[in-house]
Structure 1
Amino acid sequence: MPTTLVECVPNFSEGRDKAKVDAIVEAMKIPGVFLLDREMDSDHNRCVITLVGERDAIQEAAIRGVGKAAELIDLTKHQGAHPRMGASDVVPFIPIDGVTIEDCVAMARHVGAEIWKRFEIPVYLYEAAATTPERQNLENIRRGQFEGIRAEIATHPARKPDFGEARVHPTAGATVVGARKFLIAYNVFLNTPDVEIAKKIAKAVRFSGGGLRFVKGAGFLVRGLAQVSMNLTDFEQTPIHRVFEYVKREAARYGVVPVSSEIVGLIPKKALEQAAEWFLQVENFDSSLILENRLAAVMGGKMAVGGLRAGVEPFIEQLAAPTATPGGGSAAAASGAMAAGIATMVASMSRGKKAYLQHEAALSEAIARLSQLREELKAAIDADAESYNLVMKAYKAAKESSDGDGAINAALKQATSVPLGVAERVVEVAQIAGKLGPITNPNMKSDLTTAVALAKAALTGALANVEINLESLKDEGFVAEIRKRALALKV
């Protein structure tokens, strides 16, 4: 099993010719990369491929897929309901395990540079990798689609790509590459062929139209039915059941109802658990009530013979081993993850209880954010060790390279960003834990005290790792900026 897992979900502008899609998928089959899913939509004339793999391998797989798509897809002849600007329209990287969103940003930049270098396809960076606030939103980049950007790229400064010259590839257009959290592509079909109703509902539900915060939406006519097509960019903040209910309510205003919905690509199990809890109204629902979850916990060692010790002993023994990694940075991240875990437990045990119903919204918000922070801190355990290893590789390679100092500085900056990210996250964990006291069971105050203490320990360790890396850096501006951010962090 790879020590790092990254998901990549490239969208290609071909949804009708299976042979072409097969060839693109085949081009991306390299060791260390696994195909999870493929979806073809003839109305949209688009396919969505879901890959997962080790970070280096999946970068190369994405690049090869873009190259093969450029060979096979001619946008000058392309027609479909879905907006597009490239044969390879959008290529996002999503952190799964052992990597952070910052790692995925670095991956997006590498892939973007390689796409231009190998295929002369201009590349724009979006979401977390965006170079300007306007480009965080994919719709802003893709406005006007292939035809619009082809006409404007050379004359409008705002259309200048992040990688490559100001000219589109004649048949493959331009490509958008980025880093983001897990996105759920979710569509709702209505019992009407009137696409204008779908467009009005999409405008109401999406954030840019004043709707739900983490929803993007558009209306299409698909298979003779009006479709509200949506992207849920943070399902923990805006869960899928809330989106469905919103669409259903808006549809009623126009005298129509949802007849079905579909998921394009994959969906996290947690999103479906949230929907089950909401619609079934299960009292005091907990994911451990699900048989498969309990089995996974047992088989994974959480409840294995030997008790809880069996789950943590391997990591503790790795810390004790006479090797440089994992070290203090990984331990700090683990401490922060434990702090977030304990705080989540306290909030979860009060949510849904009669005595705390008036705090339901605040508790749900805290649980969602703590869960996200916990996952990011767990990813930082491996990311810290990996960043240290990259520094060591840079020092070794410097002996054989004329640009050794540049490579070392780049590696040191990455090794600094990981513990700084840990420090920033554990401060937030401690702040949330501090606010939980008055709205949770007072008998659990010792647990919250433990959570804050672990967060403090994590902050101390993470900042120590930041400082030791800064001492080796020669970029005075970078050092000053990082120290300024570090000084502002307190628990």
Structure 2
Amino acid sequence: MVLKPLVECVPNFSEGRNQSIIDAISTAIKNTPGCTLLDVDPGKSTNRTVYTFVGEPSAVVDGAVNAARVAFKLIDMTQHKGEHPRMGALDVCPFVPVRDVTMEDCVNCAKEFGRRVADELKVPIFLYEEASTQPHRKQLRQIRQGEYEGLKEKLKDPQWKPDFGPTEFVPSYGGTVTGARYFLIAYNVNILGTKEQAHRIALNVREAGRSEKEPGRLKFVKGLGWYVDEYNMAQVSMNLDNYRITPPHIVFEECSKDARELNLAVAGSEIVGLVPLEALLMAADYYIKKESLFIIDEALKVRLAIDRLGLSSCSQFDPKKRIIDYMVQEDLTITQPLASMSVRSFIEVLGSRTPAPGGGSAAALVAAMGAGLGAMTGWMTYGKKKFEALDPIMRELIPPLDKAMRDLIPYIDADTNAFNEVIRAFSVKGVQEKEQAVEKAYKQAINVPLGTMKVASSCWVHLLKLAEHCNMASKSDLEVGCKSLETGIWGAHRNVMINLTEIKDQTFIQTVQTEADQILEFSQKSIEKVLSILNNRKD
């Protein structure tokens, strides 16, 4: 299945206290066809609400325009006060690439949004980040300098002519900044201290530091200190512009270090809006290594990150509602229909009067079960007092077997999909075009089971060591696992061989056949060794 392109929009509105206005903006977004509202995060002290929604590019632009209309009608900037810097009712509206869209696509979204809002509402719109080509007005802080109160005079300066809309000041609305950027994490570290102390830490860690001569320690970090009345504590409030360079856990550790030097307590942290799963897994891996932990399950890694960063200190952090990957994940019954079936259903469809799923899908399933039984044998040894001395070995062996098991599951559907592509290739019109399409489809139908063989074969080195050290109460489980793995590899090999007969590319044939035969031979020798080790153990 081809997944739809996805853009994220994260508009920030200058209203965080009036629930009816907050709800009205939410409704405008939710009622826009093609838009999915993922998160609404209001703040009373900041008097600001951050919305997060996704959709295809055109739908997301429609949703942002609809929300801007509501803000124009209901928010009065002449009455607005709050801790957060701002210059307009819809203060900033970034578009972020999520899936199958380019940064250029998001720049086009920002420009289309800016043009439509300026034309309809007659308000000034400024472009920033990737959508801006002017160095003096590329960053949000540059454009927002002077904030709402200084915007009237700013608009008189030719250097600050809006990218869209009039140069006249609209008191009730102010102005909007829109653009395209990569995923930004709005991240706050809680400090049991004063606003001034939190700001002092912000100056230490943010990239800009105190001045050009005295920069801060962390790249791609913007920050300031403020006091949040509803939390009754100060925060180092930051934007992490590139979490792959400076992830939340590094920011948390650096802020904590500075807080300790000031004899201040850190009371967890807060993510405003949504966060990529990758950022939390990076944090988990950091603490796993730092504390010599052994955790490979994704859900437990996420839980560890939430705990160590104190992400539930201000409000409950629900991974299903706060991690964007989980929010936009398509139902696996659509993307992996076979792998998502019940065991009974899969066996019944396997035995039905259809050519697919067939042996290739079954081979991938059997191989995945083999790797899974290997991982299970490791778990039946790990963490038990009787085998405590073997814990370091099990920590080494379980992760690659668990990974192979998970990597093999998608091959169940991939094999059937590849067969269906072969069928479709035969319907291509034109002799030469059909010939090329069929050759390409058959090559893919070969590469899929060959991939099954490669992943499954990677397990043998770990299974051999596992056979030497595992809890012998699980001997039969490991034997079944190894036999399943061997059967999966053999079945995938048969699929490779039968499809090779349809290929005309002799170089491809020779290369694939050699590799497949070598894997099969290695598998047959490996299972003999594993079974021999298990049968000869005396314990």
- TM-score, structure 2 as length reference: 0.56
> What residue is the counterpart of 2:413 in the other structure?
310
Partner amino acid for 2:40? R
| 1:134 Cα deviation after fit | 2.9
Summarize deviations over 1:407-427 as a string: whole Å, max 9, x none. xxxxxxxxxxxxxxxxxxxxx
Partner amino acid for 1:160? K
Summarize deviations over 1:98-136 as a string: whole Å, max 9, x none. 211110011111111111001011111111111212333
Summarize deviations over 1:353-393 as a string: whole Å, max 9, x none. xxxxxxxxxxxxxxxxxxxxxxxxxxxxxxxxxxxxxxxxx
Further displaced range: 276-285 or 8-17: 276-285
Change (3 A) 1:288 1:276: closer
Change (3 A) 1:126 1:311: farther
> What residue is the counterpart of 2:258 in the other structure?
250
CA contact (8 A) 2:35 2:53 kept: yes
| 1:81 Cα deviation after fit | 0.4
> What residue is the counterpart of 1:123 in the other structure?
125
Change (3 A) 1:291 1:245: closer
> What residue is the counterpart of 1:394 in the other structure?
none
Q: Structure 2 unaligned segments of length 5 or more: list them.
A: 210-214, 302-325, 340-360, 365-410, 430-435, 452-457, 459-539
> Secondary structure of the residue that 2:208 maps to in structure 1?
helix
Change (3 A) 1:132 1:269: same
Partner amino acid for 2:251? V
| 1:252 Cα deviation after fit | 2.1
How is 1:450-469 mapped onto 2 (pairs within 5 angstroms)?
none
> What residue is the counterpart of 2:14 in the other structure?
13
Partner amino acid for 1:164? G
The separation in 2 between residues aligned to 1:147 and 1:170, in whole angstroms, is: 9
CA contact (8 A) 2:338 2:412 kept: no
1:216 to 214, 222, 226: 222
CA contact (8 A) 1:2 1:54 kept: no
1:232 to 213, 231, 240: 240
> What residue is the counterpart of 1:476 in the other structure?
none
| 1:291 Cα deviation after fit | 5.9
> Secondary structure of the residue that 2:84 maps to in structure 1?
coil
> Secondary structure of the residue that 1:261 maps to in structure 2?
strand
> What residue is the counterpart of 1:52 in the other structure?
54
How is 1:62-211 mapped onto 2 (pairs within 5 angstroms)?
62-154=64-156, 156-192=157-193, 194-209=194-209, 210=215, 211=217
How is 1:317-396 mapped onto 2 (pairs within 5 angstroms)?
317=421, 320=425, 322=428
1:280 matches 2:288:
yes
Change (3 A) 1:313 1:105: farther
Further displaced range: 119-128 or 284-293: 284-293
Partner amino acid for 2:270? E
| 1:275 Cα deviation after fit | 0.8
> What residue is the counterpart of 1:401 in the other structure?
none
The separation in 1 between residues aligned to 2:172 and 2:95, in whole angstroms, is: 24
| 1:231 Cα deviation after fit | 0.8
The separation in 2 between residues aligned to 1:205 and 1:133, in whole angstroms, is: 24
| 1:164 Cα deviation after fit | 1.6
The separation in 2 between residues aligned to 1:168 and 1:313, in whole angstroms, is: 61
The separation in 1 between residues aligned to 2:94 and 2:294, in whole angstroms, is: 32
Q: Structure 1 unaligned segments of length 5 or more: list them.
A: 343-348, 350-491
Summarize deviations over 1:207-231 as a string: whole Å, max 9, x none. 1112211211111111232210011
> What residue is the counterpart of 1:366 in the other structure?
none
Summarize deviations over 1:265-312 as a string: whole Å, max 9, x none. 11111111111111122899999742699x999865499445437337
The separation in 1 between residues aligned to 2:164 and 2:141, in whole angstroms, is: 19
Change (3 A) 1:322 1:20: farther
The separation in 2 between residues aligned to 1:16 and 1:203, in whole angstroms, is: 29
The separation in 2 between residues aligned to 1:131 and 1:96, in whole angstroms, is: 23
| 1:64 Cα deviation after fit | 1.0
1:263 to 257, 268, 271: 271
CA contact (8 A) 1:90 1:176 kept: yes
Partner amino acid for 2:189? V
> Secondary structure of the residue that 1:208 maps to in structure 2?
coil
Partner amino acid for 1:152? K
The separation in 2 between residues aligned to 1:166 and 1:283, in whole angstroms, is: 57
> Secondary structure of the residue that 2:164 maps to in structure 1?
coil
The separation in 2 between residues aligned to 1:285 and 1:301, in whole angstroms, is: 32
Further displaced range: 247-256 or 58-67: 247-256
CA contact (8 A) 1:15 1:46 kept: yes
Partner amino acid for 1:208? A
Partner amino acid for 2:96? I
CA contact (8 A) 1:5 1:96 kept: yes
Summarize deviations over 1:311-355 as a string: whole Å, max 9, x none. 3774893995759xxx99xx9xxx9xx9xxx9xxxxxx9xxxxxx
The separation in 2 between residues aligned to 1:208 and 1:272, in whole angstroms, is: 25
> Secondary structure of the residue that 1:281 maps to in structure 2?
helix
| 1:200 Cα deviation after fit | 1.3
CA contact (8 A) 1:277 1:285 kept: no
The separation in 1 between residues aligned to 2:102 and 2:90, in whole angstroms, is: 24
Summarize deviations over 1:158-202 as a string: whole Å, max 9, x none. 22111122223221100001111111111111111x211111111
CA contact (8 A) 1:149 1:159 kept: no
Q: Kindly tell me the number of residue pairs found equivalent between the two proteins.
A: 329
Partner amino acid for 2:196? E
Summarize deviations over 1:412-460 as a string: whole Å, max 9, x none. xxxxxxxxxxxxxxxxxxxxxxxxxxxxxxxxxxxxxxxxxxxxxxxxx
Return the index of the structure with the highest Cα Rg: 2
Change (3 A) 1:322 1:187: farther
Superposition RMSD in Å: 3.5
Partner amino acid for 1:53? G
Further displaced range: 128-137 or 115-124: 128-137
> Secondary structure of the residue that 1:112 maps to in structure 2?
helix
The separation in 1 between residues aligned to 2:296 and 2:114, in whole angstroms, is: 41
Change (3 A) 1:298 1:75: closer
CA contact (8 A) 2:123 2:173 kept: yes
> What residue is the counterpart of 1:484 in the other structure?
none
Partner amino acid for 2:195? V
Partner amino acid for 1:11? N
Change (3 A) 1:27 1:291: closer
1:31 matches 2:33:
yes
The separation in 2 between residues aligned to 1:228 and 1:202, in whole angstroms, is: 6
Q: State the identity as a percent.
A: 41
**Larger RCO: 1 or 2 (CA < 8 Å, sep 6+):** 1
